Structure 1
Amino acid sequence: MEQLLAARTGLPQRAGRLERMRRRWQHPWLMLAALLSIGVVALPLVYIAIRTAQAGLAEVGAELLRPRTLDLLLNTLALATGVTLLSIGIGLGVAWCVERTDLPLRRFWRVAASLPLVLPAFVSSYAWASIGATFQNLAGAILVLALASYPLVYLPVAAALRGTDPAFEDVSRSLGVGPWRTFSRALLPQLMPALGGGALLVLTHMLAEFGALAFLRVQTFTTAIFESYELHFDSSAAAALSIVLMLLCVPPAWLEMRLRAGRRVARVGRGSARTPRLVALRGARLLLVLALFLLLGLLSLGVPLGMLGYWLLTGSSAGGGFAELWLAVRGSITFAGSGALLTSVLAIPLVLLAVRQRGRLAQLAERLPYVVHGLPGVVVALALVFLSLRIVPALYQSLLVLLLAYAILYLPLAQSSLRASIELLPPQIENIARSLGRRPHQVFFSVVLPNIAPGIGAALALMTLEMVRELTATLMLAPTGSITLATEVWSYTNDGEYAAAAPFAAMLVVLSILPVWVFTRRMLHHAR
C-alpha cells in the first residue's frame, strides 16, 4: 500500500520533470547554437588551463612568487583602486552639481560632462605622454585615466539622481538632520546601484587597460603579459601572469553582472516624481563650482585636444601618416563592422536561451560572457594565438581569429542590447507560427528576427564604436599587412613620432562624436 501511494505521489513530480525536459529540448537548434557560442567564449579559460598544465604547478608557482610579480600586482591594484576612487569622486560630484543645484547653464554642463567619452583612453594618454615625462608614471596614469573614465560613473549617477524620490530627503531635513547626513543617509543609498555599477565598470576597464598604460610607461599585468608575448612568444610567464589577472578580474566582473541583473529603488508615492528642490549657489560657492568645472573641462578635454591639434600642425614628423589614413579608416571600419556582426550572431542564441529557458545551461549562457569580459584583450589574444597554432595553424593571423577575439571581448555589450528586445517578444507568437506549420528556422527569420531588429541595430552601433577603438587584440591578431587607426597610433607613438600619430588619433575622435552626441541628446530628452 505504501509503495502504491509513493508511486502515485511520484507521478506528478515525474510528469513535471518530463514536461520541463520537453520544453527545454523542443528547440535543439537553439541549444546547439548556444553551445557553440559558449564554446567560443570559453576559449581563454581553456588556454589558461592547458598552459598551466603544460608548465606545471612548480614552474607557475615560481613565476608567481618572483619579486617582479609582486610589483606588478601592487601596481595593478594601486592603479585600478586609484582610478576608480578618483572617478567616483569626480563623477558623483559633477552629477550632484548638475542635477541638484541651480548651476548656470545646467543643460550645457550636462552635455559637456559626458564629452570625455569621445576620447578613447589611449588617445588621451598619447596626448598627455607627448607633453613629456611628467605624466609618465603611476600618479600621472591615475590622473589621466580618471579624467577619461569618470563619465562612466557620472552618467548612471546623473540618471539615478533624476529618478530618485526627493521625499526621503524632505523627511530627513524635516527631522532636523543636516545636509551632509541627509545626503549620506537618505540620498546616497538610492544612488548606490548606479554608483556601484559605474565604479565596477571603471575597475574592470582598468584591470584590462593596456594602450594607455604603455604610453604612460606604467607596468601592470597587461603590459607585462604583452611584453612577454613579444619577447618569448607565448611563454609560461605570460600564462602565469594571465592566471593572476584572471583571478583579479573575475570578482569585479561577477559583481558587475549581479548589478546589471536588476536594480530597484523604492519610491514613496505613485505617479511621476516631484522635482527636487535645487540647492542655491551664490557668491563664493558659485565661483568655486564654476572654477572646478572649467578646470575639469580643461584637463579632460582641453589638454588632450590641444595637444592633438598641436601635433597635427607642427613637429618634424607632421603629415607623415596622412598617406595611410584612409587605409587605416577602411581597416578599422571593416574589422569593427565584421566583428560586430559576428558578435551579434553569437549573442542571439545566448539571450534567447537565457530568456526562454531555465536551467544550468541557460545560466551558463547568461553569466559566462560577463565573467570572461573581465579578461583583458591581451589574454584573449594570447589564447587565440596559442589555440589556432596548435589546432588549426592555417587560421593563425586570419581575419576569423581577430573577429573571434572581438566577439569574446564584447559579447556582453550585445547581450545587454538584445535582451530588452527579446523580453518584449511574447513566446506565444512563436508558438502560433509553429502551430501553422512553420519550421523553427522559418519562425526565427520571419517572426523573431524582425521583432528584435531594433535591439540588433543598437548592439551593432555600440559594438562597432568599441571595436574601432580596440588596440591590444588588434595588434596581436590582425592579418599581416592590415592597419587600423588604433594600431597606427600605437605604431607611430612607440617610435616617438607623435605628429605622425596625430591624424589617426584625430580620426578616432571624429568617429566617436556621433554616437556620443546621440547618447547625450537622448539623455537631455529624458532630463526635461
Structure 2
Amino acid sequence: MLTILRTVLLAGAVTLISTLLAVPLAWLTTRTDLPLKRLWATLTALPIVIPSYVGAYLLVSTLGPRGMLQEWLEPLGVTRLPAIYGFPGALFILTILSYPYILLGVRAALQNADSSQEEAARSMGLNAWQTFWRVTLPSLRPAIASGGLLVALYVLRDFGAVSVMRYNTFTRVIYLQYKSTFDRSAAAVLSLVLVVLTLTLLYFEYRTQTKAQYYTNAISAKRIPKTVRLGRWKWLALLFVILVVVAGVAMPTLNLLYWLLRGVLAGEVIPDLWLSTRNSIFAAGLAAVCTLLAALPVAITSVRYPGRMSKAIRSISYIAFALPGIVIALALVFFGANYAQPFYQTLPMLILAYLILFSPEAVGTLHASLLQVHPSIEESGRSLGHSPLSVFRKITLPLVRPGISASMALVFLTTMKELPATLILAPIGFKTLSTGVWGAVSEAFFAQAAAPALLIILVSSVPMGFMILDEKFNH
C-alpha cells in the first residue's frame, strides 16, 4: 500500500507541475510576441531526449551534497549541501524531463486551432488573459489530458531516475523483487497492479473527452490567431522561459561539457561516434515513420468511429507504454526466439519494439488534433463527390499537420534515448548513442558518456528545428 501511495503521489505531482510549465510555455511560444520564440520553442522541447538516469546522475553531480556547486562554494566555507535524494529529487528531475510530453501536444493544438472564438471573446470586452482562461484553455483540454496521461505513465514506468534518487516506486520495487528472488510471482503481481493503475488513468483521460465537444475548426475558413502583445509582462515571461531552459537544457549540457573537457584534459580517449550517430538517426527516423503510419488509423477510428473496439485498441497501446521497456523487450525476445526466428535480433524486430513502446505518444497527439476538426468539414468534402481517401488526403491531413509533425518529433526524440529495448533487441554490432551512454556510465567513464549524450541533444534539436519551421510555413 505504501508503494502505491508513493507511486501515485509522485506521478500526480509530476503531472501537475509539468502541466503548469508546459501550457504557459506552449502559449508563449505560439501566440505571443515573446522575443526569439522559435528558438525557445526548440530548446524547451529538448529535455525529453535526456535519459532519466543520465539526468539524475547530472543532477546529483551538480547539486548533490558533494557536487560541483559544493566545490565552487567550498572557499566560502560550505563543506556539504543538503541531500537532494528521495521525493524532491525524483520530482524535480522527472518533471523537467517529462513536461515536453504535454508541451508538444498543446503546441500542436494551439497551431491547429481556429481563432474565431477568441476574436469573438475579445470583441465582447474580454482581455487577453480572460480570453485564455475562458476560451483557449478549455479547447486545449484534450491535448492536456493526452499529454498528462503520457507524463503519468512515464513516471509509472521510470526506473533510472527513481533508482538514482533512492525513491521506491512500483518499477523499482518490481526490479528489486525480480533480482532478489527466484520466485517471480511477487514481481508479476506488482506488474498487474501497475496495469490496473494504467487502466485507471485511461478511464479518467477518457472521461475528460466524453463530457464536451472541442471542435475549433469549422466549415468556415480558418482564421490565423492574432499575436498577443505581452507589454510589460514580456520580460517576466522571457525570464520564466529562460529559467526552464537553464534547468532542462543548459545545466545538463554544461555539465556534460564539463565532464567531456575534464576527460580530454586528463588524456581519456573519446571513441569515434559516427557509426553510433548514423544508427541512432536511422532507427529513430524509421521508428517515427512506422509509428505514425500505425497510429493514424487508431487515432482516426477512436475519434470518428468511437466504440468498444477502438477504445480497447487505444487502451492496449497505453498499457504497453506504462510497462517498463525491459518487459516489452523480453516479451519480444520470447516471441522472436520461439515463433519468428528469422526476425530475432534484426532491425525490423527493434523497430517493432519502438512502435509498441511509443505508439501512445503518436496516438495521443493525433487524437487531440483530430478532436479539433469538426466532422462537418469532412462531410462537406464527401457531399461534393470526393472519396473518403480523397477527403482524408485533401482535407483532414492538412488540418492535423501540426499534430503529425509533433507526433513524429515526439517519437523520434524518445527513440533516440531508449535503452532497454535497444540493448536487448538490437542486431549484433548495432551500436547507438544511447547504448554508448549506458556503457560508459555503467563503468563510471563520465567523459566518454558525455560525448554521445551531447550528440543525442544536438541531433535531436534538428527535427525540432524542422518542426518549428514547418509550423511557420503551415501558419
Q: Tell me the TM-score normalized by structure 1.
A: 0.64
Q: Is the contact between residue 88 and residue 199 of structure 1 (CA under 8 Å) also seen in structure 2?
A: yes
Which stretch of the first structure deviates more once superposed, 394-403 or 114-123?
Answer: 394-403
Distance 1:121 1:110 in 2: 21
Cα deviations across residues 200-229 of structure 1 (Å, max 9, x unaligned)? Answer: 222222222233333444332222323433
Aligned amino acid, residue 9 of structure 2: A
Q: CA deviation at 1:488?
A: 3.2
Q: State the partner residue of 1:34.
A: none
- Aligned partner letter, 1:290: L
The CA distance in 1 between the partners of 2:289 and 2:48, in whole Å, is 23
Determine the structure 1 residue equivalent to 2:147: 198
2:228 matched residue in structure 1: 278
CA distance in 1, matches of 2:223, 2:328: 45
Residue 170 of structure 1 is matched in structure 2 by: 122
User: Contact (CA 8 Å) 1:107, 1:524: kept in 2 or not?
Assistant: no
Query: 1:251: which partner in 2?
Result: 200
- Identity rate, percent: 35
Give the total of aligned pairs: 425
Q: CA deviation at 1:497?
A: 2.9
CA contact (8 A) 1:489 1:505 kept: yes
What displacement does 1:304 show? 0.7
Tell whether the 8 Å contact from 1:317 to 1:500 is kept in structure 2 after alignment.
no
Given the alignment of the two structures, is residue 505 of structure 1 paired with residue 453 of structure 2, yes or no?
A: yes
Structure 1 equivalent of residue 160 of structure 2: 211
Corresponding residue number in structure 1 for 2:25: 94
Is 1:473 aligned with 2:421?
yes
Partner of 2:134: 185
2:191 corresponds in structure 1 to 242
1:17 matched residue in structure 2: none
Deviations 1:121-152 (A, max 9, x none): 44433432332535443212222222222233
Q: Is the 8 A contact 2:409 2:464 kept in 1?
A: no
Q: Secondary structure at the match of 2:125?
A: helix
- Asked whether the 8 Å contact 1:87–1:147 carries over to 2, the reply is yes
Q: What is the aligned partner in structure 1 of residue 177 from structure 2?
A: 228
CA distance 1:507–1:139, shift in 2 (3 Å):
same
Amino acid at match of 1:295: L
Cα 1:414–1:118 shift into 2, 3 Å: closer
Matched AA of 1:299: A
1:301 aligns with 2:249: yes
Aligned with 1:114 (options 29, 45, 56) = 45
> Larger Cα Rg: Structure 1 or Structure 2?
1
Q: Which amino acid aligns with 2:152?
A: L
Q: Secondary structure at the match of 2:105?
A: helix
Where structure 1 has 5 or more consecutive residues not aligned to the other structure, the ranges are 1-69, 430-454
Question: Taking structure 1 as reference, are residues 291 and 468 closer, same or farther at Cα in structure 2, changes over 3 Å only?
Answer: closer
1:376 paired residue number: 324
**Which of the numbers 304, 307, 313 marks the counterpart of 2:261?**
313
Counterpart residue type for residue 142 of structure 1: L
- 1:293 deviates by 2.5
CA shift digits 1:34-62 (9 cap, x unpaired) = xxxxxxxxxxxxxxxxxxxxxxxxxxxxx
- Tell me how far 1:459 sits from its aligned partner: 8.6
The offset of 1:295, in angstroms, is 1.9
Matched, 1:128 2:59: yes
Change (3 A) 1:465 1:150: closer
Judged with a 3 Å threshold, the aligned counterparts in structure 2 of structure 1 residues 279 and 489 are, in CA distance, closer, same or farther, namely same
Mapped partners of 2:300, 2:107: distance in 1: 32
1:172–1:186 contact (8 Å) kept in structure 2: no
State how 1:55-74 maps to structure 2 within 5 Å: 70-74=1-5
Letter aligned with residue 85 of structure 1: L
Residue number in structure 1 paired with 2:434 = 486
Separation in 2 of the partners of 1:376 and 1:333? 23
